[in-house]
Structures are given as C-alpha cells and as structure tokens.
C-alpha cells in the first residue's frame, strides 16, 4: 500500500483533533497472575493513574503534535479536579468537559500480570451520563477539528450523535470500537477510520483473525460494513490495514520488551489521528502509530505510557519504515 493522501485540509483545522469520550481515574493493581473467576491473588502494588480511553487518546494526540479539545463529563468528587487539571497540563482544552452533580467520575480497576497482560473493570460514573445534547452543545469544537475521535465507553446514542454532527460539519471520524458491542447499529461503522483490536474485530465480524491473511479478511469485511478504512491492531504483530477501495497492507511492529499493554491501542489511535490531522497520508500515519503503540507497552500505566516524539524517534531505526 503506497498510502492514500490526506484530503485537502482547511488551514484553520490543520492539526486540530476533538475527542469525545471517557475520562477515568485508573487504579492499577500489579500481580503475578490475573485472577480467574473465584480465585484470590495477592497484588504487589496499587497506583492511581489518569486514564479512560477518551482521555488517553486525547493525551496521545496532544503529546504527538495535535491541538486537542476534550468533550466529556466528570463527576463532583475528589478525583474530578485532579483529572481536569491533568488534561490541562497536557495542553488539552477542557471547556467542554462538564461537571456532573451527585455522581462519581469514571473509575477503572486494572489488574496487570508479569507478562504485561491486563484485565479491566470500568465503572462509567459521569461518563455514562454524557448525552447527545452535550455533544450538540459542543458542536463548534467538532466543526473546528480536522478529526474527531470516538470510543464506546460513553452511551451509544451519544457516539452516534457525535458521528452525525461530524458528518454535518465535514469533520472526519476515527472510531475505536472498544469495548466491543454485542449488538451495534449499522451507522456505527459509517466512519472514515475504524481502529479495532483483534478481540473487537472478531466480535464485530465473527471472523478469525489469527493469521495476517485472516486479519486482512476481517478488516476488509469491516470496510464492506461501511468503514472507509480499517486499522486492525494486532499487538506485537503490528497492524492489518484495509481500505474501502480494496487496498490492503500488513505493517509490522518493532520488537520491544512488553511490561503492560494498557493504553497501547489508545496510543496507536491518538498518534494516528494526530498525524492524519497534521496532513500525513495513510501509510505514514499508520507506521508512526505502530511505533506509538509499541512504546506504550514498555511503560507501566495508561497515560504514563503515552509516548512523546522523542520516544517515537528512538524506535524509528528499528523498523526502517519512517
């Protein structure tokens, strides 16, 4: 795949990304093994780290060069002020992050084992109260952006409203379909870029994705269901890419010492959105995003693992792609 050039971007939108999604505090428990049902294991440590798929992707895009606006909700609790300030400290606009009375902020409890694998339980809190009316109130933020990023840790009707508003504004849409829905409306996949991992791609298509050929076939199926381009992330095996016009490609990932896969997909999505918003073609943006995801698994935590440009530069010679 030689890459599809980015369409001409309004100079006023160049480098601008809007993120509609979740904002959480992550409680990260490190343990020898993730407990099975009915099993009790001893944890070695507990950390509090800012997270939430929406906020993670906003931080990734901001650290890698985009001007980012966050659209979401926080509760009225001890966590809300810290989470808002953390976003601002990353240079992310928070005027459209609303306070929600009488409810907690989002919380994720993450178990991470010695192999770097994780299991996550999410309490939606205020994230579950983000409404289509909230998105309509922030429509100017979406209209000002080159790319809007979405995930599924907020209500489905709110995601669909954001897609509709973006379409109306001529803003391109990147959807990370996580957590994977069991049932989904057809219009959910009518986006410019769909960015599932292997588990999510299997849930959306019912197809195996173990081999590169199978991953490409699943990605092509998702294009048939409406996506303009699918970037199916495969962990250490890189990414399988398919476009609606029939192009396919497998991009490898550099070998790294993985310690924690939390937010690797978010690093990939945020990096890709940032590079697309800045004018990169598909292949260059995807190759850059692969490196962002690879770096993320080498650092513990969610937003603590999100790379900066210098981290990407260290991995570039490993692949020879950039």
Question: Which residue in 26, 266, 280, 311 is the catalytic one?
Answer: 266
Contacts of 264 (CB under 8 A, 6+ apart): 233, 235, 293, 294, 296, 297, 305
> DSSP assignment of 22-35, as one string?
--EEEEEEEESSPP
Measuring CA to CA, which residue among 237, 199, 202 is closest to residue 222?
A: 202
Measuring CA to CA, which residue among 289, 41, 299, 273 is closest to residue 147?
A: 273
**179 φ, ψ to 5°?**
-70, 145
CA dist 23 and 72 (Å) reads 7
CA dist 225 and 145 (Å) reads 26
Q: Which residue has the tokens 């770097």?
A: 116
Contacts of 245 (CB under 8 A, 6+ apart): none
Are the C-beta atoms of residues 97 and 23 closer than 8 Å to each other? yes
Task: State the Rg of the chain over Cα.
Answer: 18
The token duo for 101 is: 């009375």
- Rounded to the nearest 10 degrees, the angle between the axes of helix 264-277 and helix 53-63 is 50
Q: Which residue has the tokens 């010695």?
A: 114
Contacts of 230 (CB under 8 A, 6+ apart): 193, 194, 195, 196, 219, 220, 222, 223, 240, 241, 242, 243
Q: Residue 266 catalytic?
A: yes
The token duo for 271 is: 């990096």
**Catalytic site positions:** 266
């Amino acid at each position: 795949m030689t890459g599809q050039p980015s369409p001409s971007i309004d100079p006023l939108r160049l480098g601008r990304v809007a993120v509609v999604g979740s904002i959480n505090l992550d409680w990260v428990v490190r343990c020898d093994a993730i407990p099975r049902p009915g099993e009790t294991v001893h944890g070695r440590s507990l950390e509090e780290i800012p997270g939430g798929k929406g906020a993670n992707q906003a931080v990734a895009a901001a650290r890698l060069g985009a001007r980012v606006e966050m659209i979401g909700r926080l509760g009225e609790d001890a966590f809300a002020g810290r989470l808002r300030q953390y976003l601002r400290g990353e240079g992310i606009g928070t005027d459209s992050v609303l306070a929600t009375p009488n409810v907690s902020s989002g919380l994720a409890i993450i178990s991470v084992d010695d192999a770097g694998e994780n299991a996550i339980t999410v309490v939606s809190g205020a994230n579950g109260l983000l409404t289509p009316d909230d998105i309509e109130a922030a429509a100017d933020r979406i209209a000002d952006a080159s790319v809007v990023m979405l995930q599924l840790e907020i209500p489905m009707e709110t995601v669909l409203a954001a897609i509709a508003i973006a379409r109306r504004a001529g803003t391109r849409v990147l959807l990370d379909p996580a957590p994977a829905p069991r049932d989904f409306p057809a219009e959910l996949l009518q986006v410019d870029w769909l960015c599932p991992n292997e588990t999510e791609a299997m849930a959306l298509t019912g197809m195996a994705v173990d081999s590169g050929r199978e991953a490409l076939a699943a990605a092509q199926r998702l294009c048939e269901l409406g996506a303009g381009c699918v970037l199916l992330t495969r962990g250490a095996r890189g990414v399988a890419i398919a476009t609606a016009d029939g192009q396919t490609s497998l991009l490898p990932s550099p070998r790294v010492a993985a310690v924690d896969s939390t937010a690797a997909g978010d690093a990939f999505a945020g990096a890709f959105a940032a590079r697309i918003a800045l004018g990169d073609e598909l292949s260059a943006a995807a190759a850059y995003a692969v490196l962002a995801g690879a770096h993320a698994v080498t650092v513990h935590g969610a937003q603590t693992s999100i790379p900066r440009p210098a981290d990407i530069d260290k991995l570039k010679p490993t692949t020879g792609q950039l």
